[in-house]
Amino acid sequence: MTSETQTDSPHLERISGTFLTTKDGTQLYFKDWGPKDGQPVVFSHGWALTSDAFEDQMLFLSEHGYRTIAHDRRGHGRSSQPWDGHDMDTYADDLSELTSALALRKAVHVGHSLGGGEVARYIGRHGTSRVAKVVLIGAVLPILIKTDWHPNGLPMQVFDDLRAGVRGDRSSFFKELSLAFYGFNRPGARVSEGLLESYRLQGVMGSLKAEYDCIKAFSETDFRADLARFDVPTLVMHGDDDQLVPIDGSARITATLVKGAKLQVFPGFSHGMCSVNKDVVNEALLAFLEE
């Protein structure tokens, strides 16, 4: 386990345009929006997606004076596609390298789905010396798979089916999965074909190897020890109609494992609440940031 050392000088030699080169040579694409003197809000996206998944939140918060930053996880989007390193420890260390290289301080970390696990492991490995607050949205915490100690988790078959879908016909699989992601398979749902296509396109941008390996990382990683290290204000946000990360096996438990955490449940919201219900999510984020 490591801890970060504060610095006021960004490591500009490791940054070229919108890319950071990590210590192992991986190039991470990142966005850095809003005023550079604003409080930083760092976003960690979900499985198979990219930083584009948070563009609605980034635009909104940047317009309210915050500096918003999001990266494409290694193997995802516009970042490099290394063969190895698709595990929670490496994801957390990549996030640490980015925050250090940009010399971020008093940052608010927002993690959605797998990104929530990334934020938790980041704190577990690197502490909160650079962190002011945390927001976990539809996060895969404390563990996603069913275990003896976590009976409300999902069975292994769910993740075996994900692996089979990714290996079989990835593009068609993402197109089908996007319906449940956004809750568009519910009666009366107002379907956005644009959102469905955006989800599929983000998915096929990534490395097949990375997305396949990542399934094990986000489903089988135990985050209980990481959550025990949280010592900053934490907001746990979750839709109670999340079909991918059911709330009873995730947010309701996570909120009890993080000291002082606030649980905010959104009736009827899906796993894709940051897009489908972006106005509500944006206002909730802003209210928490300004507390």
* Whether residue 142 has a cis bond before it, omega within 30° of 0: yes
C-alpha–C-alpha distance, residues 51 and 71, integer Å: 5
E strands along the chain, which residues? 15-16, 19-21, 27-33, 40-44, 67-71, 107-112, 131-137, 234-239, 262-266
Copy the structure tokens of residue 35.
């005023």
User: Is residue 76 flagged as an active site residue?
Assistant: no
Q: In the chain, count H helices and then E strands.
A: 10, 9
Copy the structure tokens of residue 238.
């979750």
Catalytic residue, candidates 51, 62, 96, 113: 113
Catalytic residue, candidates 242, 250, 270, 275: 242
CA atoms 244, 203, 255, 143: torsion sign:
positive
Are the C-beta atoms of 130 and 231 separated by less than 8 Å?
no
Are the C-beta atoms of 219 and 119 separated by less than 8 Å?
no
User: Is residue 113 flagged as an active site residue?
Assistant: yes
User: Is residue 242 flagged as an active site residue?
Assistant: yes
Chain centroid to Cα 153, Å, comes to: 19
C-alpha–C-alpha distance, residues 164 and 212, integer Å: 9
Catalytic residue, candidates 71, 270, 271, 275: 271
Q: How many CA atoms lie within 13 A of 91 on its CB side?
A: 30
Per-residue exposure over 123-149, b if at least 16 CB sit within 10 Å of its own CB, e if not: bbbbbbebbbbbbbbbbbbbbbbbeee
Residues in the chain: 291
Residues labelled catalytic? 113, 242, 271
